[in-house]
């Protein structure tokens, strides 16, 4: 079927990846998929719980959305599922609109994402300034960390509010219910996640602190006796899984008085999710425009940033951004019908996938299958998982999510970068991501117009009683038209019959506002019996003047 040129073809990367697929590649993809599936289990539960949902919402989102994104996406190795960036957004929508409307907003965002990809708008996401991305990423990391304070401290809080200052107030009012056992488990989990990868990384060993080096020496001593093979096997175990299993067993056998998945959610159902249509109406959709756009924009930015990281790490052919957005759209449209949450590309799991040897979307399908088998086989064991351990995992995620070094580099950055980055960061923390993105983009546009207008210059070359010559540099657009006022002043103060020459050889572009000002200048010159002469027109300004008919009214040299 022949599609119009403005529509992107639907070509999942899986189809091309299976051409010439070998058994050796399948074994590598299967191993990587199993590894990522194990890594995704605690993260999926933690993201759902932190978002105000039940843990199975995150798990089945990772399974269903992960499978759809891998099967239909435009990247060879990207892993999709629930992401930390959505925690704050989902919690806020859930608090304000309720679960049914969250599901509707997610499905509508899926439609919007699919249309963005179908209309070849995937590349537009790249135009989001890096200062905005860094600002809202750091802001989300701070909010994730704050959202985990309740479970980390073991506070008895019936319902956490969504906004920043209310959360701080509620936490302060419930400090009397502090649980030292929960804090101990959370801090041990967090510390263990920092230490675990350094035990097997030679570069990290060299940079490690005193405590880490002592553990490494102890491990080396044990290795020298009998456990070298066990150590190599341990190095392949994901840190979150090690923390989840060991600390859950520790809390269970010592009967520590901490809140668990079982005590708060009565465990995880050991069954497939049921298909259910949310209560859909046009009036409801109209109320959910802002949440829908927020989910779609954040999902698009996160997934395409993740896909770019995957390209750099894997060395495989570059992803197709439009196909990736269409796959994200399908996944987010389908998942709500099974009670899931918004999904996008996930950098941590994608990088794990690549480093585990993945070379095709098959690894993503194996990852989803692995998660499904784990849930169906071991769901009853999840009732014993302490929430403090999951909070420790999320604090580790928040730390890795934030680009904290950017704050230290701010003194060397431009004033525009500092203003946009810090503005987006504080708006994300104090208000919400929707406001931060809107204000950040508007501010970026205003500052861009200001910078571009400063590059446009009008230089007076010569002037006498009968003629005046000026040279234009840069781009004459709506933000720079005021800089032509000095020429108009010369025309109005000069005697009649003045010949004005504009040398535009260095004028790179012209928009309709700039053309309108030139037309007004031409009228003012003609009314005083003079002539306007334009010399050295480049291709773009020439085309604009020709289409408007202005070219026929002036003299060219």
Taking only the tens place, the pLDDT of each residue in 8-31 is 889 999 998 888 888 899 999 999
Q: In the structure, what pLDDT confidence band is assigned to residue 309 with cuts at 50, 70 and 90?
A: confident
Q: Which of 113-127, 174-188, 261-275, 402-416 ranks highest by mean pLDDT?
A: 174-188
Class of CATH domain 456-556: alpha beta
546-to-193, 217, 368, 515, 526 alpha-carbon distances in Å: 65, 77, 58, 11, 20
Specify the pLDDT at position 39.
85
| pLDDT at position 181 | 95
pLDDT value of residue 233: 59
67-110 pLDDT tens trace: 999 999 999 999 999 988 888 889 888 888 888 899 999 999 99
Is 80 exceeded by the pLDDT of residue 301? yes
Name which of 305, 375, 286 is nearest 338 in CA terms.
375
Domain ranges in the chain are: 26-401, 456-556
The angle subtended at Cα 347 by Cα 341 and Cα 352, nearest 5°, is 115
Convert the pLDDT of each residue in 339-348 to its tens digit: 999 999 988 8
Task: Over range 167-194, report the average pLDDT.
Answer: 92
Using one digit for the tens of pLDDT, what is the confidence trace for 436-480? 877 888 888 888 888 888 889 999 998 888 889 999 999 999 888
> What are the backbone angles phi and psi of residue 429, rounded to the nearest 5°?
-70, -50
Write the Ramachandran bin of 529: left for phi over 0, alpha for psi from -120 to 50, otherwise beta.
left
pLDDT score, position 253? 93
Residues 293-312: what's their mean pLDDT? 87
Least confident of 32-41, 118-127, 216-225, 512-521: 216-225
Residue 505: Cβ-neighbour burial (10 angstroms; 0-12, 13-18, 19+): exposed
The conformation of residue 379, written as its DSSP 8-state character, comes to G
What is the spatial order of strands in the sheet that 555-556 belongs to? 457-463, 467-476, 499-510, 531-535, 555-556
Which tokens go with 439? 């204000």
Q: What is the pTM of this model?
A: 0.79
What pLDDT sits at residue 176?
92
pLDDT number for residue 220? 54
Contacts of 304 (CB under 8 A, 6+ apart): 122, 125, 126, 321, 324, 325, 345
DSSP state of 260: B
Query: What does the DSSP assignment read for 115-180?
Result: HHHHTT-GGGGGGS-HHHHHHHHHHHHHHHHHHTHHHHHT---S---SSHHHHHHHHHHTGGG--H
Q: Which residues pair with 500 in a beta bridge?
A: 468, 532
Pairing of strands 499-510, 467-476: parallel
Provide the strand spans (E) within 202-298.
none
Asked whether the predicted pLDDT for residue 54 surpasses 70, the reply is: yes
CB 89 within 8 A of CB 433: yes
Provide the pLDDT for residue 224: 53
Asked if the model's pLDDT at residue 231 lies above 70, the reply is no
Q: How confident is the model at residue 206 (pLDDT cuts 50, 70, 90)?
A: very low
- Specify whether the CB–CB gap between 80 and 344 falls below 8 A: yes
Residue 227 pLDDT more than 50? no
State the pLDDT at residue 21. 87
How far apart CA 218 and CA 198 sit, in angstroms, is 14
What mean pLDDT is predicted for residues 137-145?
Answer: 88
């Amino acid at each position: 079927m022949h599609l119009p040129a403005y529509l992107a073809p639907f070509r999942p990367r899986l189809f091309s990846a299976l051409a010439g697929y070998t058994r050796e590649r399948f074994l590598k993809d299967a191993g990587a998929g199993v590894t990522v599936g194990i890594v995704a289990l605690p993260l999926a539960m933690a993201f759902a719980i932190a978002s105000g949902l039940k843990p199975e919402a995150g798990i089945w989102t990772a399974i269903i959305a992960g499978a759809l994104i891998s099967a239909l996406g435009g990247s060879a190795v990207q892993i999709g599922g629930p992401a930390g960036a959505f925690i704050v957004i989902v919690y806020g929508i859930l608090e304000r609109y309720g679960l049914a409307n969250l599901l509707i907003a997610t499905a509508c965002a899926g439609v919007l994402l699919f249309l963005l990809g179908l209309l070849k708008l995937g590349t537009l996401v790249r135009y989001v300034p890096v200062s905005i991305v860094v600002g809202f990423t750091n802001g989300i990391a701070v909010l994730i960390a704050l959202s985990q304070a309740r479970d980390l401290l073991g506070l008895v809080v019936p319902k956490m509010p969504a906004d920043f200052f209310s959360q701080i107030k509620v936490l302060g009012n419930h400090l009397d219910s502090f649980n030292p056992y929960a804090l101990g488990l959370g801090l041990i989990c967090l510390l263990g996640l920092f230490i675990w990868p350094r035990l097997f990384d030679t570069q990290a060993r060299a940079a490690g602190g005193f405590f880490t080096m002592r553990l490494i020496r102890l491990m080396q001593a044990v290795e020298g006796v009998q456990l070298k093979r066990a150590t190599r096997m341990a190095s392949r175990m994901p840190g979150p899984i090690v923390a989840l299993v060991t600390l859950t067993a520790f809390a269970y056998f010592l009967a520590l008085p901490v809140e668990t998945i079982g005590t708060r959610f009565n465990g995880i159902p050991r069954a497939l999710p049921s298909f259910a249509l949310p209560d859909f109406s046009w009036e409801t959709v109209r109320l959910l425009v802002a949440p829908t756009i927020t989910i779609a924009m954040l999902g698009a930015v996160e997934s395409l940033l993740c896909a770019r990281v995957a390209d750099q790490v894997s060395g495989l052919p570059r992803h197709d951004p439009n196909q990736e957005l269409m796959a994200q759209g399908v996944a987010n449209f389908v998942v709500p019908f099974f009670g899931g949450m918004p999904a996008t590309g996930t950098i941590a799991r994608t990088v794990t996938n690549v480093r585990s040897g993945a070379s095709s979307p098959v690894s993503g399908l194996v990852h989803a299958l692995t998660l499904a088998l784990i849930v169906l086989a071991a769901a009853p064991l999840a009732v014993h998982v302490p929430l403090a351990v999951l909070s420790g995992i999320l604090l580790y995620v928040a730390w890795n999510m934030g680009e904290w070094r950017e704050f230290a580099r701010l003194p060397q950055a431009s004033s525009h970068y500092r203003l946009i980055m810090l503005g987006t960061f504080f708006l994300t923390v104090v208000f919400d991501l929707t406001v931060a993105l809107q204000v950040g983009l508007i501010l970026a546009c205003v500052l861009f117009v200001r910078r571009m207008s400063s590059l446009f210059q009008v230089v007076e070359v010569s002037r006498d009683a009968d003629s005046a010559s000026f040279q234009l540099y840069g781009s004459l657009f709506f933000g720079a038209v005021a800089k032509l006022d000095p020429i108009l002043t010369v025309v109005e103060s000069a005697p009649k019959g003045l010949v004005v020459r504009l040398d535009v050889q260095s004028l790179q572009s012209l928009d309709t506002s700039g053309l309108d000002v030139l037309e007004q200048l031409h009228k003012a010159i003609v009314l005083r019996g003079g002539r306007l002469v334009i010399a050295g027109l480049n291709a773009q300004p020439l085309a604009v003047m020709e289409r408007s008919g202005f070219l026929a009214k002036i003299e060219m040299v």
